[in-house]
Amino acid sequence: MKSTITTVIAAADNAARFPSASDLESVRGSLERAAARMEAAEKLAANYDAVAQEAVDAVYKVNPQGNLGRQPRVCDTEGKDKCKRDFVHYLRLINYALVTGGTGPLDELAINGAKEVYAALSIDAATYVYGLNTLRNRGCAPRDMSAQALAEYNAALDYVANSLG
Amino acid sequence: MLDAFSRAATAADASGSFIGGTQIATLKTFVAEGNKRLDAVKAISTSASCIVTDSVAGMICENPGLTSPGGNCYSNRRMAACLRDGEIVLRYVAYALLAGDSSVLQDRCLNGLKETYAALGVPTGSMARAVAIMKACAVAHINGTNGDRGPQATNNTINLGTTAKGDCSALASEAASYFDVVSTSIS
């Protein structure tokens, strides 16, 4: 799984050299920003259930059918549960991305192949984009987390929404 | 290749759980102590040649047969190969220390090394001895107890008072553990 540190090490290893001063500088830069990312990841881990529920509620508010598809899902408990499960999945990977400081976990475990899977299952990815955008606009600093942490969290949400859209 | 952060993500993903609580606390410590880690990596990297040469020379001093005709370091070509291998091991230990995880050392250096040495007839006991000396040397550089020469993680030669000296003992023992991984893997 890629992160700033592993990328630096891989580059140094390709040149068969010890970590240079500039390698250490770039790791230091990443560590400096890491405190905010850890804060965002921690807050998200503590509150992911409520956050995912908010996204599900927003989706079902504009579209009582839930996901649009070949066999439209009715607005019952099962549909909502599955919708929430998917949002929790995305939030969990965003939690990993915040911890590692790169989009590697999201790319490897969600985004690669997402379009094909949603097409095969006749699920409209726009449903998720709508939910993620809702979360994107709901976060508030300093109520939820510090401003820098919120910026990192929003960037991760944007990344997923852009990749699905 | 993993680092402390992606190790936490991989472990959490195996159980489908979020990274929170104690794991985040551990990583926060990693971030807070980050500069010490970079200093420790720097202390090893900038004195790499010295550390490697000392350890190979020490290994040979204890066992002069190595450089005698028939020994495994006899001929400059084989001595050079020995120094090169020492540097490779130290380089991967430096990477592991930077990452805070031994996977880069395992995957890219130690995987198959024992078998390679067996095929080439390299005495792994001597190699392990050189690694042990390297360990003592690297720990001294990280703790700043290597005398008054060379770059140090915690410089004890400048009189800044007792509180000015940073405590790098955690990183020194982490580095020592990576050298132990090497020893165990080739013996």
Any residues with CB less than 8 A from the CB of B27 and at least 6 apart, and which?
A34, A38, A99, B4, B5, B8, B19
Q: Which of A29, A5, A9 is nearest to A17 (CA)?
A: A9
Query: Taking CB atoms and an 8 Å cutoff, what residues of chain B touch A12?
Result: 95
B97 is in an annotated binding site: no
- N-to-C CA span, chain B: 24
Top-confidence residue, B146 or A156: A156
A83 is in an annotated binding site: yes
In this complex, do A5 and B3 lie within 8 Å of one another by their Cβ atoms? yes
Backbone angles phi, psi at B16, to 5 degrees: 65, 25
B179, B140 Cβ separation under 8 angstroms: no
Q: Peptide bond preceding A142: is omega within 30 degrees of 0, i.e. cis?
A: yes
Q: How confident is the model over B24-44, as a mean pLDDT?
A: 92
Q: What is the 3-state secondary structure (H, E, C) of B1-22?
A: CCCHHHHHHHHHHHHCCCCCHH
What does pTM read for this prediction?
Answer: 0.84
A96, A110 Cβ separation under 8 angstroms: no
CATH superfamily of A34-164: Phycocyanins (1.10.490.20)
pLDDT at A24: 94
In this complex, do B95 and A19 lie within 8 Å of one another by their Cβ atoms? yes
Any chain A CB within 8 A of the CB of B42?
yes
CATH 1.10.490.20 domain range(s) in chain A: 34-164
Q: How far is CA B111 from CA A6, A160, B114, B126, in A?
A: 18, 36, 8, 19
Q: How far is CA B35 from CA A58, A75, A102, B156, in A?
A: 44, 53, 21, 17
Q: How far is A15 from chain B (nearest CA, A)?
A: 12
Per-residue pLDDT tens digits for A13-54 = 999 999 999 999 999 998 988 999 999 999 999 989 999 898
Query: Taking CB atoms and an 8 Å cutoff, what residues of chain A touch B44?
Result: 18
The total of other beta-carbon atoms located within 10 Å of residue A74's CB is: 10
Q: How far is B68 from chain A (nearest CA, A)?
A: 31
Per-residue pLDDT tens digits for A72-108 = 555 455 678 888 888 899 999 999 999 988 888 888 8
Q: Which of A104, A78, A81, A84 is nearest to A159 (CA)?
A: A104
Does the structure show a pLDDT above 70 at B85?
yes
In this complex, do A18 and B91 lie within 8 Å of one another by their Cβ atoms? yes
Residue A30: closest C-alpha in chain B: B31
B51, B45 Cβ separation under 8 angstroms: no
Q: How confident is the model over B30-56, as a mean pLDDT?
A: 93
pLDDT at A66: 63
Which of A30, A43, A96, A145 to mutate: most B Cβ within 10 Å?
A96
